[in-house]
Structure 1
Amino acid sequence: MAIVFAQENDLRVEDYAEVLRNCAMRHKRPVDNLDRLEEMLRGANFIVTAREDGEILGFARCLTDHAWVCFCSDFAVKESAQRRGVGRGILETCWRLLGPRIGFTLLSERDTVGFYEAAGMTRWEAGFYRTREDKS
């Protein structure tokens, strides 16, 4: 069956957690704290998913002002679905839905930089972050 890419701002926390538990970010997100994950989902205003036969394969969880920029705070694809065009399809769906006026930015793990560059994104080396103290 075909992979379906769509905006899904009402993504269920169970689907969100399933992808996180089955990707490289599983150690960097509170995957067993559904209340915290629910807060994270509700704070987003632009979510794009990939599904196959209804099964969640991946997502981009973002914040946007719909006027200038979109920040992707989580981008994840299940390890079992990688190398099938899922990640690129999610990115391209985000960009198509946002349109050409909206910039798209994210932070990448070092080992995924090549994926984003191959997808046509430009590396930006002037980014900063402050580590959170509460990781639960």
Structure 2
Amino acid sequence: MTADTNTAGSPADEVVYAVEPDLPADDFIDVLHRSGLAERRPVADRPRVEAMLRNADLTITARVGGRLVGVARSITDFVYCCYLSDLAVDRALQGRGIGKELMRRTRAAVGEGTTCLLLSAPKAVTFYEQAGMERHERAFLFTDKP
């Protein structure tokens, strides 16, 4: 784990960012619940969540006082494309720039010239637009739903 900090006021508010390839499933599931993202993730299927974490190419975390408060989990080849699959920030800390910093660190980690893309939750569209992402009208996907 490689960590560095951003201080947002007092030491109690210190956000420690790190690349955590071995992020524990319990921490991940907990922050998914606290962020609201759990309703769109298979949090009740622990083996699947563990596989999601194990198979991710890049997991960047934000912690305050050791507690996970944000995560950016990506699938990438580090040269051409990066799918930012999960961006979750504890609702109690949203609006403090943690999500934008996780995105910035993801982009820095995958390298210049690598396209980053994601699928937005309906309520998060405005956030991504304000963060400088372009909306793309030609995206397509297969789902498990008939």
Q: Does TM, normalized by the shorter one, top 0.5?
A: yes
Q: Aligned residue pairs: how many? A: 133
Partner residue, 2:108: 96
Q: Deviations over 1:62-118 (max 9, x none)?
A: 111111111011111111121111111111111122221211110002221111111
Which of 10, 22, 28 pairs up with 2:34? 22
SS of alignment partner, residue 86 of structure 2? strand
SS of alignment partner, residue 22 of structure 1? helix
Larger RCO, structure (CA 8 Å, separation 6 or more): 1
Which of 49, 64, 67 pairs up with 1:55? 67
Give the RMSD, CA atoms, in angstroms.
Answer: 1.3
Shift of 1:3: 0.6
Which of 2, 12, 25 pairs up with 1:13? 25
Runs of 4+ in 1 over 2 A off after TM superposition: none
Percent identical pairs in the alignment equals 38
Q: What TM-score results when the alignment is normalised by the length of structure 1?
A: 0.91
- Provide the C-alpha distance between the structure 2 equivalents of 1:125 and 1:111, rounded to a whole number of angstroms: 18
Which of 91, 95, 109 pairs up with 1:83? 95
Unaligned regions of 5+ residues in structure 1, if any?
A: none
Q: Is the 8 A contact 1:6 1:93 kept in 2?
A: no
- Provide the C-alpha distance between the structure 1 equivalents of 2:109 and 2:48, rounded to a whole number of angstroms: 27
